Structure 1
Amino acid sequence: MQTWQRIAVCWITATAVGMAIPSRAQEVSALVEKQLPDFLTTYKSIHAAPELSHHEAQTSALLAGELRKAGYSVTERVGKYPDGSQAYGVVAILKNGAGPTLLIRTDLDALPVTEKTSLPYASSVRSKNPAGQDVGVMHACGHDVHITTIIGVARNMAALMSQWHGTLMLIGQPSEETIDGAKAMLADHLYERFGQPDLAIALHDANFAAGKVSVVSGPALASSTSIDVVMRGVGSHGAAPEAGKDPIVMASEFVVAAQTIVSRSIAPDQPAVVTVGDIHGGTKRNIIPDEVKMELTTRCYSEAVRQAIIEGVRRTAKGIAIAAGVPEDRMPLVTVLEGESTPATINDAVLAARLQKIFVEKLGVENVVERKPVMGSEDFGIFSLDHKIPAVIFWLGAYDPAKVAESERTGSVLPSPHSPFFAPLPEPTIRTGVTAMTDAAVSLLQ
């Protein structure tokens, strides 16, 4: 009897006697349901103990410990910042024969936000920010969901090794909120030490119904460019403005004029944002100061547009100073902070299509929703090495479906990420996250 005939006979016999032959989807679902109570406990413990960027000591240790227990080879403290300090990056490797290498990333850090959700596991942590100010700390962007998800995926992939082959590289990335964690890990020779992946994926929770996912092809998140603008003038008495050059007036003019950098310099079909988020100048009401400092963030999807915005900021600031008669040696200082900037996250179209197909097949077409690109920023795309490695970040619904429906009906706004009231619905969010990412990983490594 031929091999294929023996397989057919076995299949027919099994079916005839009513033997259950579970599909992979059923197997993944069973694994997730069995561990879900443990996942929820882990999630709540992480949520209650958040750590700021550059300080993820306990969070990274928790993740590393869970990945070791799951059977992975784990390395901690991967990453080096420009000042030479070591980052709290985690790299976990599971080899399973010949095949491609898949990178899956979670971020680790929390935000300087005082939580106001009143949840029983709400954070009461306080810490010092880089300026030395006492601040509340909260997982207000769902990184606790992401960490819990990757722990679940790690366990599932170890249990399903008969169904995939290749190498799984799990990354615990620090300092995503300050968009310098991915750079720090690459600066510490991530790929030279652990191998360069063939594919890279990540997820991020979002403000739509839990139980659903979304994949965007092409631009997914905008670049983020941080710019400092210092308008320099000539100080004088508030009662004698003619004796000086007022940088407060110039800064005010700049804030207004900066709004035309996009509207009159960038093509209307190119999404772009210029925001002045911080402005400081002066010490007393009757003193015209020497300078005013402004902190800007700019967002777009194109490097050409990014450079046009930077040039627009320089041109606008200088033009206002010249019009005010500022001396040449007191022209504005415009500084692009490359360490606090990150390129746009562009999802690979082919990989996005593969993930879309996987999710429709495994989760059901009704649970794969369409979403638009957003102007928020991420540094996950840096792992793609300027798109040399196909990479995709997909969205995971995290909100109570009933509240989402009520919001759509009434027009009320739900708390967004970075809000002190941000509160994902844990059970369906984590269940779907672990299931979707496991299905994706197994399918991509077959």
Structure 2
Amino acid sequence: MMTTLTHHEDLKGAIGAQVEATLDDVQALYRQLHQTPELPFQEHKTSARLAEALEGLGYEVTRSVGGTGVVALLKNGEGPTVMLRGDMDALPIKEDTGLDFASRETAIAADGTEVPLMHACGHDLHSSCVVGAAGVMAGLRDHWSGTLMLVCQPAEEIFGGARAMLDDGLYERFGRPDVLLGQHNMPALAGSVGHIAGGAMAACTNLAVTIHGAGGHGSMPAQTVDPVVIAAHVVTRLQTIVSREVPPEETVVVTVGKLHAGTQANIIPHSAELEINIRSFDNALHARVVDAIERIIRAECEAGRSPTPPEFRVLNETIALHNDPTAVEHVRRAHAEHFGEASLYAMPRLNGSEDFPFFGNAEAGGFGGEDIPYVYWFIGATPAERWAETPGATVSEKMRHLEMPHSPYYFPGNAVTLRTGIEAMAAGALAWLA
């Protein structure tokens, strides 16, 4: 008895066959990228490898977009333009995974110090998945029509790469996409895919502050203005923003992650340095919180007789990530058809942050016109055996017990996760192009 395949079954099988054909090469690329990580805007070897891989698949490739970014186009007749984005920078962390291809690289950071390097957030996995999806889509030209735009983005960890590529004319030079698709690994079950509509990730501002005093001898405090005392009041008072100025139903985090002043006990220093991390899920509220921080610091400096107003410097920042609900449902349906409903999970909202939303927000991204809808989903990275033995009944409960991105022990690059990431990107793109 003959069985007639549906369009979706046929497409699922075609994707699977293409992944089989390209997986060994993508795994080799992944190991290569993992072993040789590079800091933000220093991804010269990484971007060259990715560009060469995409050129080998027949894509029209442009290098050095926004510094070290790579853009690849595959035009395949009339139809929409779908953009797939993967990031590629690493972190100043010493790897402790024990892998035989673990990083032993170091680099010179912006402050001139030598730092160890590690792909502790899986950006090597993300960019490898883009190359894998590129291979799948090139092999399935007969199944779709339109334009596929691939973006290998630098400097996500400092929220700099998306804007750098946009400022370098990304959409003017290569065309404005109709939809944007991206993904990130998480310590959920490998082989699973998580979706969330609306507010998914937080806006983030990292703010550096200098509080000025008038230093002197510790035995004569009346002849000084002590910036340490002012800074101590600032740290305490900033906690009242969340408790007394933010509506209780909103989520805001204000963290003073750095406080540095002085050189020894009997010297009152001339200044104190703070670095403050602010996170929220509402861009307008976020701006009000930053204003409140500056207002409090100025007032404490005046109360403490600071001879010079405080100085503020934004180290980096990004806006909240709001997935387009209609586009999320479209992608989720495609993923359900490809992976099966049982392989999907409801992704909880994350206080972590991304610069991916700049690609879709016309005002914040600086490209004008209407916003571009985007979907950012999450692929599981925990092998099944480890997942089964981890305490908890839900995804959120289990993830509390597992290594998270930015840990020196975090390794998301198992074969199941790599394959899932490739298939999720290809199935997501085909949801618009097929």
Tell me which interval the TM-score lies in, with the shorter structure as reference length: over 0.9
| 2:41 matched residue in structure 1 | 54
Q: Percent identity?
A: 39
2:71 is the alignment partner of 1:71? no
2:323 is the alignment partner of 1:335? no
CA distance in 2, matches of 1:319, 1:272: 22
| 1:429 matched residue in structure 2 | 417
**What TM-score, normalized by structure 1, do the two folds share?**
0.91
Q: Which runs of 4+ in 1 moved over 4 A?
A: 18-22, 409-412
Of 247-256 and 126-135, more deviation after overlay is shown by: 247-256
Deviation at 1:302, TM superposition (A): 1.2
Identify the match of residue 187 of structure 2 among 207, 228, 237.
Answer: 207
- The structure with the larger Rg is 1
Alignment of 1:3-402 (within 5 A): 16=2, 23-79=10-66, 87-324=67-304, 326-327=305-306, 329-337=307-315, 340-386=316-362, 388-402=371-385
**For the Cα contact (< 8 Å) 2:320–2:353, is it kept in 1?**
yes
| 1:442 matched residue in structure 2 | 430
CA distance in 1, matches of 2:322, 2:248: 20
Code of the residue aligned with 1:287 in structure 2: it is: I
Q: Describe the shift of the 1:41–1:336 C-alpha distance in structure 2 as closer, same or farther (beyond 3 A).
A: closer
Deviation at 1:290, TM superposition (A): 1.3
Could you report, residue by residue, the CA deviation over 1:414-435 in whole angstroms, capped at 9, with x for unpaired residues? Answer: 2110111111151100111111
**For the Cα contact (< 8 Å) 1:222–1:344, is it kept in 2?**
yes
**For the Cα contact (< 8 Å) 1:224–1:298, is it kept in 2?**
yes
Q: Describe the shift of the 1:293–1:195 C-alpha distance in structure 2 as closer, same or farther (beyond 3 A).
A: same
CA distance in 1, matches of 2:4, 2:298: 78
| 1:9 matched residue in structure 2 | none
Deviation at 1:19, TM superposition (A): 8.9
Q: Secondary structure at the match of 1:263?
A: helix
Of 196-205 and 235-244, more deviation after overlay is shown by: 235-244
Deviation at 1:20, TM superposition (A): 8.0
| 1:3 matched residue in structure 2 | none
Deviation at 1:301, TM superposition (A): 1.4
Q: Secondary structure at the match of 1:91?
A: strand
Of 178-187 and 299-308, more deviation after overlay is shown by: 299-308
Could you report, residue by residue, the CA deviation over 1:112-145 in whole angstroms, capped at 9, with x for unpaired residues? Answer: 1110111111000011111111111010000111
Deviation at 1:311, TM superposition (A): 1.6
Of 390-399 and 403-412, more deviation after overlay is shown by: 403-412
**For the Cα contact (< 8 Å) 2:330–2:431, is it kept in 1?**
no
| 1:82 matched residue in structure 2 | none
User: How many pairs does the alignment contain?
Assistant: 420
Which runs of 5 or more structure 2 residues have no equivalent in the other structure?
363-369
CA distance in 2, matches of 1:32, 1:163: 15
Could you report, residue by residue, the CA deviation over 1:170-223 in whole angstroms, capped at 9, with x for unpaired residues? Answer: 001111111111111111111111111111001110111110011110111111
Q: Secondary structure at the match of 1:152?
A: helix
